[in-house]
Structure 1
């Protein structure tokens, strides 16, 4: 988004989404010849990574449009992402019914539905002049209430559909309710736009409106300046160049914290089913864990976004300190898994879902606050890289390796020293994940300690009014609108 507008980013994401998943669908349904493994991996990679374009185009645009409420905006948007899996499930059931076991239908749905939604709303996605309005917060809370209603309905449907067999009509009705709840915020938005339009229509006849743009920035990036100024320190909150941000100690601290924090909770969530089997939980309980993680992931995202914004606005409570508390809470969840306390996996799944979700609005808000919004699209995606890195280290190299080691030990104890190639290793008991999650707990605690360093480094910054310049850049004074912020 530093080079092209949001619409181009979203359009590219839509094309990649359709191409990647449509090619997978063609392969699965045998409409094309069987591809090589690397080709299939490429199709999956293209389809899966297309969401980065949608996330960047939508999230960064909204943060730039509402810079004084970025925690709230990130909480709402990331919360919606947290519900997306449950939403797609309900829509799939509405389109194809509960008896349709073919994964090909789901793949095709994932290929075309996001593209259709993107094409419909593409004209409305743009960075606008930020004119602060007193009722912005009220609108955000109304959107939150609608979002909570959607989350509650999805939770009820997940529970009810597991207890009772639904007919095709009932699946369609539940899908219709989901669609109504998804699109109901449009009523709030259209009403607000009409109020703004009527207000402007009345004001234009009696106000002398002039727009003053101070120091309009160039749309081209001066890369030679970026390299020369890479190690030149700037005040926190100023617009850093990409290299200035990447070589900043604060960014290094945030990256380490996200690697351990997000990586640890992601490992817990990815292995939740396997952990349940190792601890001898019934299949019904394991499916409940997955549902709990999904809903609490959403609640973690919206609550951390709104709560951190309220605390920051009223008490100058630093967002990095709230991130520290979330990491310490995650340590408790990891320890519950490590020691395998009876029935503790219910509580652990709630904690893991909440903490995984809560970290994202905090982490992404801190990046925008410390390093500015000019290159936020690039920095946003750089910060997101911490998740797969942490997941690989803690999930593959720690949890996966130690699980296989314990499983082999159990086979040897039974006198089985050889196994067929391709056979899965199954481990039973607390010892399967105990050592791994003790290590993950330690890594998460280290992340919490490191985040305290950031708290100390940024205490003066967060003690000030960090949004002051955005409030001053968009204001109405004596009938004159003055704005000096960059407009893409």
Structure 2
């Protein structure tokens, strides 16, 4: 967020998209490279992942914030294309592995191609290193960053709250018996020598304790909690849902959900970035739209109509991914970047808490009761999750109403931040 403050939605979508693909990548390694060996998988997770993280740690650091530059859009487009290509490739190879018997050499080839797709984005820093931007381009970027900080493109001078003449006039009207030191303080505040503290406004940098007393904070948290909590409930129980509706092999369902989840994450970042720049539409409008769709999806699940399982799973995957791609840049825009980490991580609590409430307590309880009625360890039929889906649909209805309220409340903030078609930092408060 700090390195690319002018492309927050795009960056969030790409990062969350790759995170969404990580499970599919590890599954590909597990199935095709180590032949489903549990011991080799544990060894890879114990040693391989930390080594990769340590090797990449140096490259994840604060850099000079990127300004408005046409080349950035092409770089982001290339990264998005590489990400989508990888996702399609993973989905294709998973289906092929599921329906065909592949030799070890073919599996190893698939994994090697996957690694090539993974490192495609490295072409961007290599190109920027071998063919650096000219000095003219660098000066244009510097000027763009100055505009970002000051909020104006043609003036960098500071205008005091009160001019000296105005301050002097005000001083002359003070009663002669008033303490002279108080007059000096008033004059200093007016001329900018002393900065008066005030609470931050939406769009400025909030401390965590300042953010949690805002209604917008809890509205966003609740909307996110409902969106991801209901979605992760289906994800956690997708295998049982498939079995209860007559689909014994859940691999295709899981692959479909993961692929659509990725599309939702990367698409939410790109689409919300376009509309927030062109029309200053708050990003949360897309949480509203997707939660309306989720209501329909849960009703489809509850109806158990023939041919709707895969359609509902794909739609839910997209809507589930949108919640992640929208929440991250919205938090940074409403509450600033200075304390973004702690605010964002608190928002993330909506995911595990939603899983506990909707999946473990609700879905697990309903499923066990229905299985007990059938006198077996597993449950078959639409009643296994029917009540759960109706409750999830109702929860999304509440989330939709709250997201509409939130969108209306923060519309003026986005009109201020994106008034000129690009992000503009508000004047920071000193607190």
TM range (shorter): 0.7 to 0.9
Q: Against the structure 1 CA distance between its residues 237 and 438, is the aligned structure 2 distance closer, same or farther, given a 3 Å change threshold?
A: same
CA distance in 2, matches of 1:280, 1:425: 16
Q: Against the structure 1 CA distance between its residues 295 and 203, is the aligned structure 2 distance closer, same or farther, given a 3 Å change threshold?
A: closer
Aligned partner of 1:88 in structure 2 is: 26
Is contact 1:300-1:353 (8 Å) kept? Answer: yes
Aligned partner of 1:274 in structure 2 is: 240
TM-score with structure 2 setting the length? 0.81
CA distance in 2, matches of 1:200, 1:386: 46
Aligned partner of 1:259 in structure 2 is: 225
2:216 paired with 1:250: yes
TM-score with structure 1 setting the length? 0.72
2:71 paired with 1:135: yes
CA distance in 1, matches of 2:336, 2:137: 35
Is contact 1:369-1:466 (8 Å) kept? Answer: no
Q: Residues 223-372 of structure 1 correspond to what in structure 2 (within 5 A)?
A: 233-283=199-249, 286-372=250-336
Question: 1:11-65: per-residue Cα shift (whole Å, max 9, x none)?
Answer: xxxxxxxxxxxxxxxxxxxxxxxxxxxxxxxxxxxxxxxxxxxxxxxxxxxx110
Q: 1:463, CA displacement in angstroms?
A: 2.3
Question: 1:199-256: per-residue Cα shift (whole Å, max 9, x none)?
Answer: 249979xx9xxx9999xxxxxxxxxxxxxxxxx7521110001111122111111111
2:81 paired with 1:115: no
Which blocks of at least 5 consecutive residues in structure 1 are unaligned?
Answer: 1-62, 215-231, 412-423, 474-483
Q: 1:425, CA displacement in angstroms?
A: 3.0
Is contact 1:257-1:450 (8 Å) kept? Answer: yes
Q: Residues 93-172 of structure 1 correspond to what in structure 2 (within 5 A)?
A: 93-96=31-34, 100-132=35-67, 133-172=69-108
Aligned partner of 2:359 in structure 1 is: 395
Is contact 2:291-2:397 (8 Å) kept? Answer: yes
Is contact 2:86-2:114 (8 Å) kept? Answer: yes
Q: Against the structure 1 CA distance between its residues 271 and 382, is the aligned structure 2 distance closer, same or farther, given a 3 Å change threshold?
A: same
CA distance in 2, matches of 1:334, 1:464: 37
Given candidates 64, 68, 74, the residue that maps to 2:12 is 74
Is contact 2:5-2:66 (8 Å) kept? Answer: no
CA distance in 1, matches of 2:227, 2:136: 50
Equivalent residue of 2:2, what SS?
A: helix
Aligned partner of 2:110 in structure 1 is: 174
Equivalent residue of 1:67, what SS?
A: coil
Is contact 2:264-2:325 (8 Å) kept? Answer: no
Q: 1:71, CA displacement in angstroms?
A: 0.4
Q: 1:168, CA displacement in angstroms?
A: 1.6
Question: 1:424-449: per-residue Cα shift (whole Å, max 9, x none)?
Answer: 73221111111111011000110111
Q: Return the index of the structure with the highest Cα Rg.
A: 2
Q: 1:102, CA displacement in angstroms?
A: 2.9
Is contact 1:268-1:334 (8 Å) kept? Answer: no
When the two structures are aligned, how many residues end up with a matched partner? 375
Q: Against the structure 1 CA distance between its residues 390 and 172, is the aligned structure 2 distance closer, same or farther, given a 3 Å change threshold?
A: same
Q: Against the structure 1 CA distance between its residues 370 and 203, is the aligned structure 2 distance closer, same or farther, given a 3 Å change threshold?
A: closer
Which blocks of at least 5 consecutive residues in structure 2 are unaligned?
Answer: 151-197
Equivalent residue of 2:281, what SS?
A: coil
- Greater RCO structure (CA 8 Å; 6+ sep): 2
- Aligned-residue CA RMSD in angstroms? 2.7
Q: Against the structure 1 CA distance between its residues 188 and 331, is the aligned structure 2 distance closer, same or farther, given a 3 Å change threshold?
A: same
Aligned partner of 2:131 in structure 1 is: 195
Equivalent residue of 2:134, what SS?
A: helix
